[in-house]
Amino acid sequence: MLFQTELHHLWMGIANSILIFLISIYIIRWYSKKKNIPSIRVWDISFNKNIKLSLIWLMINISIAISLSLFINNILIYFLTQICVYILIDIFIGSIIVRKLYKENLAESFKFVFSIQLILLGLSILLGFILAILSGYIFPMFSDALFFIIEFGLISTLLITALSLIIGLVLGLLLAIMRVYGGIELNWLSNGYEKLFRGIPLLVLIFIFAVGFPELFWYLEPLDRLLASVILALGIRSGAYQSQIFRGAILSVNPGQMEAARSLGLSKMQSFRYIVLPQALRIALPGWSNEYAVVIKDSSFAGAIGTFEMTLIATVWGFRSVELFTLSMGVVAVLYFLFTFPITNLFGKRQTEKLKKLGMGGG
């Protein structure tokens, strides 16, 4: 019972940290735009600096949540202690920001950092108490559902998404190279692959691998075979879409750069690897971020064959009552939103704007 209480505290602290991390990015962007004064460089903060500082803040918060959960069992004392430690962390990180990033204008730098951290502190307190009330006082059963959705469902969903995207990345890049630099046969083969797997519904593809080829992953446990079948189906289908993304990105690179590299003595492979590929990957980032959003949402189809992920776990818990079903599905919807919208909006949209400024195309 004690260990279960510690885990509940831990996951609420981590959930609070992740929510604050995502919110802080938008707060910093909004605040820096609102206070953007051309004569003061401190307000013109790049997204790269924001994301690095926010990641540091998130990792420290998660470490604190893990440490505090081992020693404090009272949920209110836990969050109050966590908030007090956050204040010290905010002061420490603020000092680093002032010393390393904003040397030109110390007063304005400190004002900016203080304003941001003050907003985040208020949000942290609010979210902490909301999670505490939901967990321990109003919806005790919902606390268990939230724990299982995050502990098992979210991890499984992220694992499926990551491995599927890696498979799709390798296949998509190879297919794109075949379309651009291959002969007629390779072009025909790549085009046929794209049309075939883009035309088959994902659910049908999952059943083909999971039921039609049950011994495909004979060396794995039965449940792991189903998981591997889902990952393979998602990866193969994602590769068909990613090939279009990478093909367009490769064609967007000025052909004159390849010719210039060849004239300097580089082989065709070296020219592609060192000149074309780095630019193509950058151009493909907006489209690839959209594909990430598609894959992570399509991972919910894994529940159709009994593979546990967020949607299936929320459905199982929701069978206990209508209210719990609504709350569980609401949590899943929020998690999908938090793991898709920031990526597509920040990485995709922002990268597209950068590429347009550099004259490299819009992705």
Torsional sign, CA 194, 200, 203, 205: negative
Alpha-carbon span 272 to 249, nearest angstrom: 13
Q: Residues in the chain, how many?
A: 363
Alpha-carbon span 222 to 215, nearest angstrom: 10
Position 44 scores a pLDDT of 42
- The residue ranges of the chain whose pLDDT is under 70 are 1-125, 127-143, 346-363
Position 230 scores a pLDDT of 93
Q: Domain limits of the chain?
A: 2-138, 145-358
Looking at the chain, list the stretches that DSSP marks H as alpha helix, in order from N- to C-terminal side: 2-34, 47-69, 75-100, 106-133, 140-148, 155-181, 184-199, 202-207, 222-252, 255-263, 268-271, 277-298, 310-318, 322-342, 350-358
Position 148 scores a pLDDT of 82
Position 306 scores a pLDDT of 85
Closest by CA to 194, choosing from 214, 212, 216, 176, is 176
Task: Tell me the fold of 145-358.
Answer: MetI-like fold (1.10.3720)
